[in-house]
Structure 1
């Protein structure tokens, strides 16, 4: 655990936090006029190792080889020239900051960081970061790496084992009462869709699970397949799941929420990581979270609360996020998805 302090006066800016994986969609807005929740869970932070935030440069302004050096192999609209190493955390965990009113500008219904820092150290007033909560952007706090320093605050939280994670209830249910996936789950599924298409490498994919087929089957049709490529089967693998009756080529496996590492697959099976909340909803659609009675975990206790909601609508796959992720896949790893036109946004409700 660690907290972040002001580099100017050494005052604490945050509560103690634990580091987790950076969401790949942290910089991607969702829809138009959508009110999004906090991106990060309380008590956690992530570090973006790449440049982010203003200023920005258009693709045409980049020097030869500069985009490839930064991991982009297909054109995108623009790249950031901001500082690398910005720290992402949830609003409310920045307990030692105050809003810079003159810098609190936005586009519609809130504030963004498009005009520079809008958060300052509450003790000395030195600018330290950005608060964002405008419509269509995630509610976040970004601390600037040169304005803060990290201070140890005790041992790291223990890493939960996989069996325990099956029974830990989600802070936000993956599916709401109306049967709609929440926005974070939809963004995670967009990330998994790209990983699945790259792993398939132009082969048609046959999903063993009907729920998985309902989520990803139609979206996979947007990626070209070779007529001579043998079909690859995809199963659900993970803790608490029985082994497949056959040996699939692909497997959707849960991603650990703390470490970001996927569930290990057997030799010969290519694992495709999927957000734990989505994976658990698919793998155990009727399972409810266990309850603790006198410190003993009792998963078999009778429950009288309503059953978990079941998703009834399609998934909104974010075409801009998918385009950005595909642009970062080296050409030698994606001969099959290279035919997806970079200016074509075929994704949406699937």
Structure 2
């Protein structure tokens, strides 16, 4: 357990926090409503920011007067995400708070300064469409070990589960981000070959994207759910859970592994959303049910296109496969294309 202190004067900037894995939706922008916090109170996560810009697939010579474009992947490396309520000893920087809608989006740089010495130390993000978070600048703060309860790491059999649909009938933004990350991993390990997926919920969230991004024809690779509580097997490509605290990927002997956020994986593995039909007569109207049927979405599933692109860029920064870059460029140039529209 640590607190973060100002690197300039040593003033404590946060409550006691414990590290967890960075959520897939950390940089997602979704809708125009106010979203909840990115992290649970008492936790922090580090954004590796380890992507590198991609050069165009066919760059034109500079002497021909063509401006070479690159694709920005992420912000500065090692920024520290923390729940807004865990921040201490800071004041707002007024000149960096303008130009937003319902809050602040950090577009003008760090907007929180140390209350003791005035050094800019963090960026608060709480505008509509953004998950609420404070990003500590790594060069402006330092971790200080403190006494506190040891974090209990949950067992693989205790993984959480998040429903795919919200009460309004919309697909969960957490699902859209998590599947987008897994889809980028799946394309990277597919080798550009057609991939089959198991029928049911997995097909509902992956098949449309596979149909739109990989070439048609018979499947040459096969994606199978694998993980705690499922029969042991050695599949071609395994869709496995990623631990929400440690970030560890479920160990598997598959030829290739595609990690998926644990709460989404658990729902795919152990929930059956099919509605049951009575064999004879329906339940009397006066009988009150304590197990309402699951909510069903009113639209096709769409992975988050921005999250997909940023993940693909990070995974394939050193890739030499032209087919993978063509997929990236096609999605980037047409963000409303099939699986993302």
State the TM-score, normalized to the length of structure 2.
0.77
Counterpart CA distance in 1 for 2:28 and 2:194 is 29
Q: Distance in 1 between matches of 2:124 and 2:93?
A: 10
Q: What is the CA distance between 1:174 and its match in structure 2?
A: 4.7
Secondary structure of residue in 2 paired with 1:187: helix
Question: Whole-Å Cα distance in 1 between the matches of residues 320 and 292 of structure 2?
Answer: 42
| Aligned positions, number | 307
Equivalence for 2:190 = 200
1:11 paired residue number: 11
Task: Give 5+ residue unaligned stretches, structure 1.
Answer: 61-73, 288-303
Aligned-residue offset at 1:169: 6.1
Contact 2:101 2:127 in 1 (8 A): yes
Deviations 1:201-233 (A, max 9, x none): 222222224110011000111223275x75222
Change (3 A) 1:118 1:306: farther
Matched, 1:242 2:214: no
Paired with 2:161 and 2:24, the residues of 1 have a C-alpha distance of 23
Specify whether residues 223 and 83 from structure 1 end up closer, same or farther in structure 2 by C-alpha distance, changes over 3 A only.
closer
Aligned 8 A contact 1:177 1:309 in 2: no
The answer to whether the aligner puts 1:153 opposite 2:153 as a matched pair is no
Q: Which moved more, 1:314-323 or 1:22-31?
A: 22-31
Q: Find the counterpart in structure 2 of residue 97 from structure 1.
A: 90
Is 1:279–2:265 an aligned residue pair?
yes
CA distance in 1, matches of 2:220, 2:195: 6
Is 1:27 the counterpart of 2:27? The answer is yes
TM normalised by structure 1 equals: 0.76
Show the counterpart of 2:36.
37
Distance in 1 between the 2:17 and 2:263 partners?
22
Counterpart Cα distance in 1 of 2:72 and 2:161: 39
SS of residue paired to 1:50:
coil
Deviation at 1:282, TM superposition (A): 1.0
RMSD: 3.2
CA contact (8 A) 1:317 1:347 kept: no
Q: Could you say what secondary structure the match of 1:134 adopts?
A: coil
State how 1:1-350 maps to structure 2 within 5 Å: 1-23=1-23, 25-31=25-31, 33-50=32-49, 76-78=70-72, 83-154=76-147, 156-165=150-159, 168=160, 174-225=164-215, 231-243=220-232, 247-266=234-253, 268-285=254-271, 306=291, 309-312=294-297, 313-328=299-314, 329-330=316-317, 332=319, 334=321, 336-340=323-327, 342=329, 343-345=333-335, 346=337, 349=340
Question: Greater shift after overlay, 10-19 or 255-264?
Answer: 10-19
Query: Secondary structure, in 3 states, of the residue corresponding to 2:3?
Result: strand
Structure 1 stretches of at least 4 aligned residues deviating more than 6 Å after TM superposition: 57-60
Q: What is the CA deviation profile of residues 303-324 of structure 1, one whole-angstrom value per residue up to 9, with x for unaligned ones?
A: x854573442432322233223
| Alignment CA distance shift 1:36-1:235 (3 Å) | same
SS in 2 for 1:235: strand
Q: 1:115 to 1:164 in 2, by over 3 A?
A: same
Over 3 Å counting, the alpha-carbon distance change for 1:178 and 1:27 in structure 2 is closer
Q: Are the aligned partners of 1:286 and 1:307 in contact in 2 as well (CA < 8 Å)?
A: no
Give, in angstroms, the shift of residue 11 of structure 1. 2.2
Equivalent pair of 2:41/2:86 in contact (CA under 8 Å): yes
Q: Give the drift of 1:196.
A: 1.1
